[in-house]
């Protein structure tokens, strides 16, 4: 029960990693507020349906979660979108969505959460990506956004360590989620076969399952990571970005 008596807010709680994360936090004693566009079906202690592209929604969310739960100790900026394609194929709408969800929302949520954590300390865990550290091909918007989130993590980790607010990030490579499978479907590929082909590119023999990422998020949020600030933890099965 690493999180007994603690209160957590998880964004993207209805997604592949998010749903597993919410369940894992609650199983270890945390009270959890969850947000997504529609998250009422997720078992949690508070639900906030909303759009992370809405700045006012993001600004208010940590306070609303703290009121519902009785405080805020952990913020997991887990929500994200993947925009694929060369820069010449992307639109202004693609840019706006990617930056709003992957960069602006974590910025706003962190800005609002830090004052709530200032007296007692807390942990913020961002979900960046290996691709934000070493860019892969044909994903310029995704790469840019995850690189920005990684840099923000490092900055906040240093700036707020004196308040015992630890800010770190998990940086996955491919994860077997509905998001990645929908990307294959959009491109006309068989998702199961595409995942099998990806598995063969990973030294450990498979791409990550959501629990593989969640276990690292839980570590970073827990007291076991008490001396980590601004860390970017890669979870990639030994696979480099290629």
Catalytic residue list contains 142 = yes
Residue 235 CB partners (closer than 8 Å, separation 6+): 170, 171, 172, 173, 208, 212, 213, 216
Half-sphere exposure of 215 (CA within 13 A, CB side): 7
User: What is d(CA 11, CA 237) in angstroms, rounded to the nearest whole number?
Assistant: 25
Which member of 20, 129, 142, 225 is catalytic?
Answer: 142
**Would the CA dihedral through 215, 150, 235, 50 be positive or negative?**
positive
> Contact at 8 Å (CB) between 46 and 33?
yes
Catalytic residues: 142
């Amino acid at each position: 029960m690493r999180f007994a008596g603690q209160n957590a807010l998880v964004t993207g709680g209805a997604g592949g990693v998010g749903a597993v994360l919410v369940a894992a936090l609650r199983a270890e004693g945390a009270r959890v507020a969850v947000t997504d566009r529609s998250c009422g079906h997720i078992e949690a202690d508070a639900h906030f349906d909303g759009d992370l592209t809405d700045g006012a929604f993001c600004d208010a969310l940590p306070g609303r979660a703290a009121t519902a739960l009785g405080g805020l100790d952990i913020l997991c900026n887990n929500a994200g979108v993947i925009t694929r394609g060369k820069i010449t194929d992307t639109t202004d709408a693609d840019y706006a969505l990617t930056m709003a969800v992957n960069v602006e929302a974590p910025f706003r949520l962190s800005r609002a959460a830090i004052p709530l954590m200032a007296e007692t300390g807390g942990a913020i865990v961002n979900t960046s990506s290996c691709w934000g550290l070493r860019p892969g091909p044909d994903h310029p918007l995704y790469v840019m956004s995850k690189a920005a989130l990684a840099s923000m993590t490092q900055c906040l980790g240093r700036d707020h360590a004196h308040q015992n607010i630890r800010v770190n990030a998990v940086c996955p490579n491919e994860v077997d989620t509905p998001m990645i499978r929908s990307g294959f479907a959009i491109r006309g590929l068989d998702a199961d076969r595409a995942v099998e082909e990806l598995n063969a590119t990973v030294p450990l023999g498979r791409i990550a399952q959501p629990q593989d990422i969640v276990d690292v998020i839980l570590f970073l949020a827990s007291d076991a990571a008490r001396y980590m600030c601004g860390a970017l933890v890669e979870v990639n099965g030994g696979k480099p970005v290629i």
